[in-house]
Amino acid sequence: MEGSLDYFNLVKDQPVGIFIIKIDNLHQENSKLVSFALKWLVPTVKSVLSNHCSVIESITVFSRVYWLFQFDSERKCSELDLYVRVIKKFNNIPDEYKNMSLTLCPAKSMCTIDNLQYCLSNAERSVRLRLISDHDHIVMPYKFNDLKVLRVSDVFSPFQQAVFHTVIESGEIEWIVDYISKLFLPLVNIKERNIDPIILFELSHRILIMIGDLLESQNIESDTQGVYNTLGHASTVQEYVKIFLQKVEFLMNPYALKMQSYKNSPVNRAIYYINNHYSTPISLTEVADFVDLSPSYFSALFKKETGKSFSEYLTLCRMNKAKKLLTETMQPIGMISDSVGYSDAKYFSKVFTKYFNMSPQRYRKIN
């Protein structure tokens, strides 16, 4: 902590203030206008703080500016008075930035150098509370002390998650959006229900993890971090849900198109089945039944369209999944063998070595 003290030039045993200013571009999501507004905002706010504070530090991250300050020895105003003086400057924002929305989100109270992290987390909570605050420019977290904190399992149970996995696997966009809408429905009037809006972010996070895992399994790139950044522009719960649904639809579109092609092609449907059942002892006959073709005709068609026999494709699929587990987890070889459909770890190692000219242990070591 002494290093932090030296870096910020803080005076020990003197209270420290933290607040975040959130900038929202109301009409253009990723516009350069935000960066231009920052050039106006930072010196403007600093000019207010410099009249009352001996230490002023600011860090800009995307569309947020994090401020840390200490009052000078002759304190001329209260913490709240200082915030009010800052937000008065918001009313003088230049015309070219009029579609910017600026919100000051302070920590619950002044802190010491020993609990800066706690106060920073508290200021981050204020940013979330913007969604249910009546204030246009400032969110005071102490006014929301009694909000109930829900867990994801309270609104998205393990059973619902299992159902949702089936829903997103279908690739039916309307079904997916409708299901998510119903999950968020109990939270739309979150303010009246006296619930902390953190549940919105946690529920969104859980949904995005499930979608990201599905898209990754199909080798489809997805920018889930971009979704989080965009959600930060929401100013109400209703707007948050609307933005989230739009982003989910955008993320799922490539997968939906891929699923449509699967429905039109027996071989694509077979590949989908293999990718989702490779960990079980599936057979050519089983997959042929799934795509409603005779085993002999399916075998010939699969070889013609993929260039590989069914057994070759299945083995390669299992080996590629094994490579991923070897590099991304510390699971024992025996567990990985079982995870990719081989009950005999020695046989799995033999097949792996044949395909990649090295043992699973060696592959893990060099990767």
pLDDT category of residue 236 using cuts at 50, 70 and 90: confident
- Chain-centroid distance, C-alpha 286: 37
8 confidence band (pLDDT: 50, 70, 90): low
pTM (whole model) above 0.85 = no
Higher pLDDT pick, 141 / 349: 349
- Reply yes or no on whether the pLDDT at 6 is more than 80: no
pLDDT at 334: 93
| 196/129 Cα distance (integer angstroms) | 8
- Asked if pLDDT for residue 2 goes beyond 60, the answer is no
pLDDT, average across residues 214-224: 86
pLDDT number for residue 32: 67
Interatomic CA distance for residues 32 and 101, integer angstroms:
15
At the fourth CATH level, which superfamily is domain 2-144? Reverse transcriptase/Diguanylate cyclase domain (3.30.70.270)
Q: What is the pLDDT of residue 133?
A: 87
**Is the Cα dihedral 268, 270, 271, 272 positive or negative?**
positive
Give 245 or 92, the one with higher predicted confidence.
245
Q: Kindly report the average pLDDT of the chain as a whole number.
A: 87
Q: Residues of the chain with pLDDT > 70: what percent?
A: 94
Please say if the pLDDT value at position 4 is more than 50.
Answer: no
Q: Quick one: average pLDDT of 167-193?
A: 91
Q: CATH classification of 281-366, choosing from 3.40.430.10, 3.40.30.20, 2.40.160.40, 1.10.10.60? A: 1.10.10.60
Question: Going by DSSP bridges, is the β-strand pair 64-71/17-25 parallel, antiparallel, or unpaired?
Answer: antiparallel
pLDDT of residue 338: 93
pLDDT attached to residue 3: 38
pLDDT at 175 exceeding the cut of 90: yes
3-state secondary structure the chain: CHHHHHHHCCCCCCCEEEEEEEEEECCCCCCCHHHHHHHHHHHHHHHHHCCCEEEEEEEEECCEEEEEEEECCCCCCCHHHHHHHHHHHHCCCCHHHCCEEEEEEECCCCECHHHHHHHHHHHHHHHHHHHHCCCCCECCHHHHCCCECCCHHHHCCHHHHHHHHHHHHHCCHHHHHHHHHHHHHHHCCCCCCCECCHHHHHHHHHHHHHHHHHHHHCCCCCCHHHHHHHHCCCCCHHHHHHHHHHHHHHHHHHHHHHHHHHHHCHHHHHHHHHHHHCCCCCCHHHHHHHCCCCHHHHHHHHHHHHCCCHHHHHHHHHHHHHHHHHHHCCCCHHHHHHHCCCCCHHHHHHHHHHHHCCCHHHHHHHC
Confidence of residue 193 (pLDDT cuts 50, 70, 90): confident
pLDDT of residue 5: 44
